[in-house]
Structure 1
Amino acid sequence: MGIRKKTNKNPPVLSHEFVIQNHADIVSCVAMVFLLGLMFEVTSKFAVIFITVQYNVTISNNEGPEETAVNHFHHGIKDLATIFFYMLVAIIMHAIIQEYVLDKINRKKHFSKTKHSKFNESGQLSAFYLFSFGWGTSILLSENFLSNPVSLWEGYPHTLMPFQMKFFYICQLGYWLHALPELYFQKSKKEDIPRQLVYIFLYLVHIAGAYILNLNRLGLVLMVSHYFVEFLFHVSRLIYFSNESNQMGFTIWAVLFVVGRLLTLSLSVLTVGFGLSTAEKQGFDLAAGNFNIFFVRMTVLAAICFTQAFMMWKFINFQLRRWREHAEAQSLKKKQAPTKSKSKKDKANGVNGVNSHGADSPRSRKEKSS
């Protein structure tokens, strides 16, 4: 899959510029190696670990007239290989969206450097959030987690997952890991890197924590609600770049952002604080995947509360900055309005208060005749 930016100069092979310009081609070749490995018996066992979801468990389902087999999956160390492969896929998809969608829009709109980077960021994330929200919602509906909230903690530990849920978590971890090398590939500004590293780290910690601690059901619900709110924000920012007077999307996002934080805290306290504390299986058992002890529960709640507080703090600062900029713009308009009206009045009365038609007034004509 060739994704190469056309440039007049060919940088030296294996130089930084060469890697940045051709990183999608390089990553595509690496991914192709794993796919080709499936074709040969010697390497197929090794390649399967990277491409397919591991740790399959077949469970017999006796419901109904016939006995059916249902496949479930649990997590393990081999998942790191699968996450690595889908991280490569995420890099390739990132390059495709950038090359064939965002770059074409940027060339038409002629954005400034600041808007250019923000537009690319919002374009990539809005596509990812929309896809993840739709995929996660379909899993919630198929597993009836929304209609039965008790299932979020009932039967813990939830070591077994359906294929779609496990693959969803694999892709999520792969995507947020791919964001780290993208900082280099996209030539991110030094002042933007700390901010991006913070939210990448928060995503990885929370998603991996829910996956490893077998809180995958709660994590899925929280991700779906969070991704919907974030999707609205980035779509609103894309609309704002095309029409700066249209800021209705930010208002809707602000309301849903606060609702999302309250929903996250409520579900977390309900599931971890109350549900797991009254569950039948208490104690720490690494082999069984049971982490239902007081210390782990409090650590999870503290991490979630800290993250929500951090997000609210960033949100409040963002809103204050917007209001400040809006107030400055309004005051500037008020200052310009009297100046414009005064200049129009001066033009009508003439320069320095003298009427431009003063020479033709009756008094001047009388003086001339005398």
Structure 2
Amino acid sequence: MAIRKKSNKNPPVLSHEFIVQNHADIVSCMAMIFLLGLMFEITAKAAVIFVTLQYNVTIPATEEQSAETISLYYYGIKDLATIFFYMLVAIIIHAIIQEYVLDKINRKMHFSKTKHSKFNESGQLSAFYLFSCVWGTSILVSENYISDPTSLWRDYPHTLIPFQMKFFYILQLAYWFHAFPELYFQKTKKEDIFRQIVYIGLYLFHIAGAYLLNLTHLGLVLLVLHYFVEFLFHISRLFYFSDEKYQKGFSLWAVLFVLGRLLTLILSVLTFGFGLARAEDQQLNFSTGNFNILAVRISVLASICMTQAFMMWKFINFQLRRWREHSSSQPQSVKKKFVSAKGKTSRKERENGINGTVTSNGADSPRSRKDKSS
């Protein structure tokens, strides 16, 4: 995300700069049209499709529930309209966080262009991940998914889900769809666009897959697990930008990242290889939403495994790059400290490589320390 430069001159209406500078106001007006449509009887029926959740079913409550009836939801084509509306809301919230929080911090910290872009990215994602983790965890607790792991596959297909669950998935899809226009609004560099598209596409593919294949229980657990690890990484990066000596958060994230990948694979194998594989009904049925057949199970499990392998490959490259940067910076720091302490060096020290390109082995060897003390 590049720095948005404000100029005193007003750009032409509907020009590129005009849309970028005023995109939050434009989107707010679009969202207000749908909200105003709720106030009039003629447009209310159409506006309701965008603002409220669709496809609700009222069923009698069980003996354990205090209410007489409960409302459950299933998915349909009208969900696209609801996702579009909340995508507009996500763009507005994105602009609010950017202008009233991140931009103010950026002006105080005086980051470089590279750090400015990464700080904005981590600031936005850490807020979203924190919100999603708290909300997703509350759903897991209220629906007893944590205390009863068999609920991940028991009573599949999970075609009817509670309001909180469906709203959670709608907002997840809306947020990641909003990331596409944000590439334009934030003037993302051309070399970063492909990486961002792959990043966003993976989220949409897996979230939409869990939603459409009625695997919402497993999808929610894996999302909360993944979001918690990602939140730790981005909040650690924010602290690192304020103090470059801060490394503890990255060390904890590295451990939890590996554990998160292992736990994701374990839960996925248990669900598809053990739970759903032993279900009685294993016939493809679009009317009932049952996709529990061998081909689908293998495809979904392979998709999850390939994604985890891709993330581990990126993680290993990231750690190797950090290790190289850390190892290459040590000789330079040793050189600067030595030169500033002694100024001129002797001929014997120059022959040992202390003045010039110093290697870490030479700088830390017992012989070098003996020469310094002599």
Q: What is the TM-score with the length of structure 2 in the denominator? A: 0.89
Partner of 2:149: 149
Partner of 1:15: 15
Query: 1:28 touches 1:92 (CA, 8 Å); kept in 2?
Result: yes
Query: 1:74 touches 1:159 (CA, 8 Å); kept in 2?
Result: yes
Residue correspondences, number: 343
Equivalent pairs: percent with the same residue? 73
1:123 aligned to 2:123? yes
Which 5+ residue runs of structure 1 have no aligned equivalent? 347-370
**Partners in 2 of 1:126 and 1:341 — Cα distance?**
43
Deviation at 1:18, TM superposition (A): 0.3
Deviation at 1:332, TM superposition (A): 1.1
Deviation at 1:65, TM superposition (A): 9.9
Partner of 1:298: 298
Output aligned runs, 1:1-370, within 5 Å.
7-63=7-63, 68-343=68-343
Partner of 1:360: none
Partner of 1:353: none
**Partners in 1 of 2:281 and 2:7 — Cα distance?**
62
Deviation at 1:270, TM superposition (A): 0.5
**Partners in 1 of 2:9 and 2:305 — Cα distance?**
51
Cα deviation code 1:93-133 (max 9, x no counterpart): 00000000000000111100000000000000000000000
**Partners in 2 of 1:105 and 1:290 — Cα distance?**
50
Structure 1 residue identity aligned to 2:97? I
**Partners in 2 of 1:281 and 1:150 — Cα distance?**
17
Change (3 A) 1:64 1:320: closer
Query: 1:156 touches 1:281 (CA, 8 Å); kept in 2?
Result: no
Deviation at 1:334, TM superposition (A): 2.2
**Partners in 2 of 1:88 and 1:253 — Cα distance?**
32
Secondary structure, in 3 states, of the residue corresponding to 1:290?
A: coil
Secondary structure, in 3 states, of the residue corresponding to 1:155?
A: coil
| Larger Cα-atom Rg | 1
Deviation at 1:335, TM superposition (A): 2.5
**Partners in 2 of 1:234 and 1:345 — Cα distance?**
44
Secondary structure, in 3 states, of the residue corresponding to 2:190?
A: coil
User: Runs (4+) of structure 1 moved beyond 6 Å?
Assistant: none
Secondary structure, in 3 states, of the residue corresponding to 2:172?
A: helix
Deviation at 1:66, TM superposition (A): 7.4
Cα deviation code 1:32-83 (max 9, x no counterpart): 0000000011110100000000000001014169771010000111100000
Cα deviation code 1:146-194 (max 9, x no counterpart): 0000000000000000000000000000000000000000000111111
RMSD: 1.6
**Partners in 1 of 2:234 and 2:64 — Cα distance?**
46
Change (3 A) 1:95 1:64: closer
Q: What is the TM-score with the length of structure 1 in the denominator? A: 0.90
**Partners in 2 of 1:66 and 1:266 — Cα distance?**
36
Structure 1 residue identity aligned to 2:20? I
